[in-house]
């Protein structure tokens, strides 16, 4: 196994652990919690 | 292998068999270390020494098979760069030419001189046969400490060159610059360290300046310590297969795919929740917001997500503001979230169009364990002019005063999978591979060429 493959394996392991931690704490930067209304664009925006 | 020319050392009288007669320029006597000019028919003494030859692992004349070609050790250099000392053995075959065996830090590698200079991709990167090599350290003075045997150039103890090594993680490129030339050598690792001495056995030893035929020990080996054989051992030394970039790339892609699968699997496992609770609510456009308690949830895990899916009836050109509040019964602290459901349709010069959805999924993250009441404050507005795009900023601009009903149904479920999280981790997983590929493509296009 070359060093770069080994390092990439470590990177994958790190991401897997980070993912498991994020899931354990049910954490996400994409959650809707704590958003407040009042700054939303209404109406169609495709035009 | 080839007819050897025998000369006598002008200094000590030792018998020296030139293995590469006609190719060799200089010889260092293996008995006294004197350096001889053999390019001249009358062998000239370049530098006179009276010292015992230094110890080495392979005696002059030892033969072995490297890459399927029988080769003979014709020269040996001991070199150092101030921090490390290593041995370099010059191998010769009259048909295949020269190559090197390098013994450093207990590891053996095969050195092949490059006839074409690698392509410079930058200050510290070169490319050779499609592989990128990165410089490991700045060039350092490298000194030849001891010389024994014959060489195709004039070499003498004390010669100093600037040298460095470029590596691709497996093979290496040695760069050396002397006063008048630059040399590149490809270094490929050989199998386990014991295999190399075992694969080379001594050939016919020349006669020394005194003593019986067989002469004094070569390279400091004790006499008889090296088995003498007339035949070349069957062991063929072949460099350890180079792991190509393509091999590494496929391995990394496999690891990335497996990692993404595990990330998704873990997300699904943690995202599983309890049974969903369903609740309906009817609101009217233009009316004050209506408040309702949608569900009471008991969350047992230390932290959990909560997913609220709101579905509206087939309304058109309306939006629905949904302010959720998840209130902890014990502490009365609330976690707020907001969702906007909107659906518009109309017709313009391009024909009919629609925008939006009758469904809105809102997710709470990191909700601590406890019992919660989920409340919603919902209000709906009409959008007045479908033919003209209208924007409001926190207000119901464009709304009409006519009140129409909007039927909503909420489904509340403990748990939830954040697809954004999965996507983020997938991107991070593939980021190094992407960067590597982009750099390779860029390098292949000469983008880093200086």
d(C-alpha B447, C-alpha B386), whole Å: 51
Lowest-confidence range among B107-116, B222-231, B300-309, B383-392?
B222-231
pLDDT per residue as tens digits for the range B157-204: 888 999 999 988 778 899 999 888 889 999 988 876 667 777 886 554
Coil, helix or strand for B214?
coil
Q: Which residue has the higher pLDDT, B442 or B208?
A: B442
Count chain A–chain B contacts defined by CB atoms under 8 A: 159
Asked whether residue B86 carries a pLDDT value surpassing 70, the answer given is yes
Which of A18, A40, A44 faces B344 most closely, judged by CB atoms?
A44
DSSP character at residue B218:
G
Count of Cβ atoms closer than 10 Å to residue B278 Cβ: 13
Q: Which residues of A touch B171 (CB under 8 A)?
A: none
Across B70-90, average pLDDT: 88
Residue among A7, A30, A42 with most chain B CBs within 10 A, to mutate: A42
The reported pLDDT for the residue numbered B320 is: 92
B211 or B165, higher pLDDT: B165
Alpha helices for chain A (secondary structure H): 3-24
How far apart CA A34 and CA B134 sit, in angstroms, is 48
CB contact at 8 A, B335 and B375: no
Q: Which of A33, A39, A43 sits opposite B383 (nearest CB)?
A: A43
Average pLDDT over chain A, rounded to an integer: 82
Choose among B204, B196, B197, B191: nearest CA to B231: B204
Q: Whole-prediction pTM value?
A: 0.53
What does the block give as tokens for B269? 């496992």
CATH code at B282-412: 2.60.120
Question: Are the Cβ atoms of A44 and B356 closer than 8 angstroms?
Answer: yes
Of A8, A23, A36, nearest to B338 by CB-CB distance is: A36
CB B2 within 8 A of CB B17: no
In sequence order, which residues have a C-beta less than 8 Å from that of residue B441 and are 6 or more positions away? none
Mutate to test the interface with A, among B134, B269, B333, B337 (most CBs of A within 10 A): B337
Q: Which of B262, B337, B424 lies at the smallest CB-CB distance from A16?
A: B262
**A15 in B contact zone (CB under 8 Å):** yes
Whole-number percent of chain A with pLDDT over 70: 74
User: Residue B103's CB: how many other CB atoms inside 10 A?
Assistant: 21
**By the CB < 8 Å criterion, does A14 face chain B?**
no
**Residue B40 carries which DSSP code?**
S
Q: Is the pLDDT of residue B424 over 90?
A: yes
CB B43 within 8 A of CB B7: yes
Distance from CA of B36 to the nearest CA of A (A): 44
Buried b (16+ CB within 10 A) or exposed e, B47-63: eebeeebbebbbbbbbb
| β pairing state of B236-237 and B63-66 | parallel
pLDDT above 60 (res A37): no
Residue B346: predicted pLDDT = 85
Q: Looking at chain B, which residues constitute the CATH 2.60.120 domain(s)?
A: 282-412
| Beta carbons of A28 and B363 less than 8 Å apart | yes
Q: Provide the CB-side half-sphere exposure for B124 (13 A, CA).
A: 8
- Over the stretch B295-346, which tens digit does the pLDDT of each residue have? 999 998 999 999 999 999 888 989 999 999 999 999 999 999 988 899 998 8
Structure ipTM over 0.90, yes or no: no
CB–CB contact A41 B252 (8 Å): no
8 Å CB contact between B294 and B410? yes
Say which of A5, A28, A43 has its CB closest to residue B392: A43
H-helix or E-strand spanning residue B305: strand B290-312
Rounded to the nearest angstrom, the minimum Cα separation between B131 and chain A is: 14
């Amino acid at each position: 196994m070359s060093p770069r493959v080994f390092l990439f394996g470590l990177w994958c392991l790190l991401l897997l652990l980070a993912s498991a931690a994020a899931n354990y704490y049910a954490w996400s930067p994409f959650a809707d919690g704590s958003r407040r209304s009042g700054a939303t664009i209404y109406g169609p925006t495709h035009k | 292998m080839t007819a050897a020319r025998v000369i006598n050392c002008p200094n000590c009288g030792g018998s020296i068999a030139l293995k590469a007669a006609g190719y060799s320029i200089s010889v260092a006597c293996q008995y006294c270390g004197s350096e001889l000019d053999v390019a001249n028919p009358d062998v000239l003494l370049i530098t006179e020494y009276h010292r015992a030859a230094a110890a080495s692992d392979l005696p002059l004349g030892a033969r072995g098979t490297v890459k399927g070609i029988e080769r003979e050790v014709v020269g040996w250099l001991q070199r150092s760069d101030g921090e490390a000392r290593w041995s370099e053995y010059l191998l010769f075959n009259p048909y295949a030419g020269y190559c090197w065996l390098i013994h450093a830090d207990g590891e053996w590698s095969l050195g092949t001189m490059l006839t074409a200079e690698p392509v410079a991709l930058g200050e510290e990167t070169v490319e050779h046969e499609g592989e990128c090599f990165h410089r490991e350290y700045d060039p350092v003075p490298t000194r030849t400490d001891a010389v024994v045997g014959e060489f195709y150039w004039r070499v003498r103890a004390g010669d100093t060159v600037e040298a460095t090594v470029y590596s691709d993680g497996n093979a290496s490129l040695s760069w050396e610059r002397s006063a008048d030339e630059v040399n590149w050598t490809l270094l490929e690792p050989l199998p386990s360290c014991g295999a190399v001495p075992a694969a080379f056995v001594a050939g016919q030893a020349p006669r020394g300046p005194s003593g019986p035929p067989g002469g004094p020990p070569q390279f400091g080996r004790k006499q008889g310590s090296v088995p003498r054989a007339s035949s070349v051992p069957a062991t063929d030394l072949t460099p350890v297969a180079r792991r190509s970039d393509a091999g590494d790339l496929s391995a990394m892609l496999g690891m990335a795919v497996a990692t993404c699968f595990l990330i998704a699997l873990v997300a699904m496992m943690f995202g599983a929740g309890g049974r969903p609770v369903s609740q309906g609510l009817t609101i009217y456009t233009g009316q004050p917001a209506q408040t309702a308690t949608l569900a009471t949830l008991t969350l047992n895990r230390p932290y959990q997500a909560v997913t609220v899916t709101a579905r509206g009836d087939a309304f058109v050109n309306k939006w629905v503001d949904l302010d959720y509040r998840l209130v902890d019964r014990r502490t009365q602290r609330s976690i707020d979230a907001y969702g906007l459901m909107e659906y518009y349709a109309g017709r313009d010069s391009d024909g009919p169009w629609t925008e939006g959805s009758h469904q809105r999924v809102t997710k709470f993250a990191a909700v601590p364990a406890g019992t919660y009441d989920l409340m919603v404050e919902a209000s709906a507005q009409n959008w007045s002019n479908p033919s003209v795009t209208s924007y409001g900023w926190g207000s119901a601009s464009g709304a009409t005063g006519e009140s129409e009903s909007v039927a909503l149904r909420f489904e509340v479920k403990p748990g939830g999978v954040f697809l954004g999280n999965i996507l983020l981790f997938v991107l991070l997983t593939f980021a190094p591979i992407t960067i590597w590929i982009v750099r390779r493509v860029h390098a292949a296009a000469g983008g880093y060429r200086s």
